[in-house]
Structure 1
Amino acid sequence: MSNVEQIYRQCRLLIDEQVQGVSHMDTKRLDTRLEGLPRYIVIIPTTNIWVERYIQTSGISTRIDVHIFRLPVLSISDEGSGSDTFSLINFENILDHASLIKPDVVIWAGTSGSWLGSDFEEELLKKISVRAGAPAIGCFTSLIAELKEKELDNIGLFTPYITPIHNRIIKNISAHGFEVTDLGHLAIEDNYSFSNVTCERILSAAKSKLSTSLRLIIPMCTNMVSCVMDEYLASHLACHVLDPTVCVFERAARFIARR
């Protein structure tokens, strides 16, 4: 059984157990369980499945009142992944509902900022924050902030995206003063297919170009198994793995803790 199949099975069991547990709770007990927990709005692309699996397997769902909303994204192509796809207007219906939930924080769990740039994501997050009535955090700006705090100057990048998108990501990370070692990309457009990329495929691509000077690798996509297998990948690559899903949730947790 492959690593991905094992994770699928573990996630399915966890979800089944939680659903069964909730079905036996009365409303009062459920309200008490959620009372006082930080409330997250998490926006993910339509066909992204790994963010929710990360939420389940990491235990976040027991510490956070999480509400998932989906943004229509079926592919990441050179034509269909521009600023129009990820502009505020496409978040508006989500945000109108989100504001009623009164979240403590909004997470945009997509990596569009990595190819559209930090300025684009920062502006989008400001607008999301105003619309939702809560601070908003994004994956790419979280990654850049984390890299600056770690004071790293050479990082490895692996993506499942097509060449033009992959190259823009390298350019945008480099613009922040980091030297980027290109560990390869898979040239996939279909957003759902990213979820089928195995650890072995990531390791095979990364190891062929890995250098001993690298201290950190980013598998840039929130719909890959790396969010729940980052420690496994790190042990086989002999360096730290900074997954965008893990990064944005950890920074959200730090934000909540500082309030």
Structure 2
Amino acid sequence: MSDHRPLRVGMLTPSSNTCLEPVTYGLLRGAAGSVTAHFARVPVTRIALDTGSDAQFDREPMLAAARQLADAKVDVLVWNGTSGSWLGVERDRALVAALTEATGIPATTSTLALLDACAAYGVNRLGLALPYTRDVADAIVATYAKEGLACVLAEPFGEDDNEAFARIPATDVARQIEAAATDGAQAVAVVCTNVYGAFEAERLEQALGVPVFDSVTATLWRALDLAGAAPSWDGYGTLLRDGSLRAHVQSVLTDVLAATGADRTTFRVDLPAHGLHVDLTAGEALGEGVRSIRRDASLDQRRLNTVEWLEAERRTLVQPHFRADPHPPQALVDVYGVNAQMLSPVETRGELTGWISVHSMRERDWTEADQRALAVATADLTARVSATT
């Protein structure tokens, strides 16, 4: 991207959609002129489970529109539609590969953006707010189940006319979001880019206590993140404020897990402006079959022996076993099966802001390579946290 112009987002837009352009412009107020959005339309008028509807999402019209957007030298491309949610995520992944091959521009889709949001926030039980007919809604539930997401489905509005989706009042969409935030849902997704849910997210998140991932918002967020812009804007819900930080944390933890062969990695941090507190993890990566600790807030983390040691020593704690001080909380052993760990402090302005934990279910000697991988991760997250404070 040139230093002398705003970042440009190229959006492939369903032809009958009247929502995503004005909503995107509204969301871009948070960019203060540093981002512009550019749209090309592809024919989409009806959402159903039949060959006529499916044909609207063929690749060639999208590639033709993408080439036109490439003439504007956009920095990222998105298919701003949720068709992959019922046609299959692999179809979207293949589309993204084809768009990038044809233009040389990084790309994503609304469905992939929603899945990325769920990964960033560790969501595995997702409420769904949908305008579609029930058979399309059921297909979405099945598609997301293949991606590891159990769904709580609020009653869909039962529409199949794409233009009509945007005429559903925002107050009705808000009530549907509320209905989806039940039965253990860890977040709610508004799965349609022609529904007015984006500007309800901030208020509803505060009322419901869970993230609200509107499709238009999620698509813009992921496009900006993919282009390296990492938005952190207030007023539009957690995804545009905190999502890029959480996604980065998740990526770092996943890398440490792979590099060390550990069973679990977590990051805890006090960043109130981003809704983060050390008593709940900001991110977690897990080995196969390992139990999550992400939503367990039962311990006062700052008062743990191991964390008090970090506070005093300000260096990495390497524990091949727990037979010597400082001892971890017994629940870590008894409930979560941890028998060895490394903890590394993250400091900002001389304060212990947070720490990375690397867990093993068995006693093990942590190698120099393991400790180097943790040191790299610590430096990365220290820099990222420092940049946000």
TM-score by length of 2: 0.54
- Whether 1:44 aligns to 2:44 is no
Q: Matches of residues 182-197 of structure 1 in structure 2 within 5 Å?
A: 182-197=153-168
Could you tell me which residue of structure 2 aligns to residue 116 of structure 1? Answer: 87
How big is the shift at 1:254?
Answer: 1.7
CA distance in 2, matches of 1:93, 1:201: 36
CA distance in 2, matches of 1:55, 1:209: 24
Q: Matches of residues 90-169 of structure 1 in structure 2 within 5 Å?
A: 90-169=61-140
Q: Matches of residues 55-74 of structure 1 in structure 2 within 5 Å?
A: 55-58=24-27, 59=29, 60=31, 62-74=33-45
CA distance in 2, matches of 1:61, 1:52: 17
Q: Deviations over 1:163-198 (max 9, x none)?
A: 221111111111111211111201101111110112
CA distance in 1, matches of 2:109, 2:32: 19
Segment of structure 1 superposing worse, 117-126 or 195-204: 195-204
Q: Deviations over 1:52-72 (max 9, x none)?
A: 112221225822232211111
Structure 1 pair 204–257 and aligned structure 2 pair: CA distance change class (3 A): closer
Structure 1 pair 151–111 and aligned structure 2 pair: CA distance change class (3 A): same
CA distance in 2, matches of 1:35, 1:192: 38
Structure 1 pair 210–106 and aligned structure 2 pair: CA distance change class (3 A): closer
Structure 1 pair 119–61 and aligned structure 2 pair: CA distance change class (3 A): farther
State the SS of the aligned residue for 1:218.
strand
Segment of structure 1 superposing worse, 112-121 or 63-72: 63-72
Aligned residues: 226
Q: Deviations over 1:127-162 (max 9, x none)?
A: 111222201111111111221221122111110001
Segment of structure 1 superposing worse, 172-181 or 145-154: 145-154
Letter of the 1:167 counterpart:
D
How big is the shift at 1:236?
Answer: 4.5
- Whether 1:181 aligns to 2:190 is no
How big is the shift at 1:207?
Answer: 4.1
Q: Deviations over 1:102-132 (max 9, x none)?
A: 2211011100111111100000111111222
Which residue among 40, 47, 53 is the counterpart of 1:81? 53
CA distance in 2, matches of 1:126, 1:90: 15
- Whether 1:247 aligns to 2:218 is yes
CA distance in 2, matches of 1:55, 1:91: 20
Contact 1:48/1:191 (CA < 8 Å) preserved in 2? yes
Letter of the 1:164 counterpart:
D
Contact 2:174/2:200 (CA < 8 Å) preserved in 1? no
Q: Matches of residues 200-215 of structure 1 in structure 2 within 5 Å?
A: 200-208=171-179, 210-211=181-182, 213-215=184-186
Contact 1:51/1:227 (CA < 8 Å) preserved in 2? no
CA distance in 2, matches of 1:48, 1:61: 25
Structure 2 unmatched runs, 5+? 231-389
Q: Which has the higher contact order (CA 8 A, sep 6+)?
A: 1
CA distance in 1, matches of 2:169, 2:131: 11
Percent identical across equivalent pairs?
A: 21
CA distance in 2, matches of 1:209, 1:95: 34
Q: Per residue, is there more helix in 1 or in 2?
A: 1
CA distance in 2, matches of 1:61, 1:46: 28
State the SS of the aligned residue for 1:107.
strand
How big is the shift at 1:214?
Answer: 2.2
Structure 1 pair 177–105 and aligned structure 2 pair: CA distance change class (3 A): same
CA distance in 1, matches of 2:114, 2:68: 28
TM-score by length of 1: 0.79
How big is the shift at 1:212?
Answer: 5.7
Structure 1 unmatched runs, 5+? 1-33
CA distance in 2, matches of 1:126, 1:256: 16
State the SS of the aligned residue for 1:233.
helix
Contact 1:55/1:61 (CA < 8 Å) preserved in 2? no
Letter of the 2:81 counterpart:
G
Structure 1 pair 209–131 and aligned structure 2 pair: CA distance change class (3 A): closer
Larger radius of gyration: 2
CA distance in 2, matches of 1:78, 1:255: 31
How big is the shift at 1:206?
Answer: 4.5
Structure 1 pair 161–247 and aligned structure 2 pair: CA distance change class (3 A): same
Contact 2:66/2:77 (CA < 8 Å) preserved in 1? no
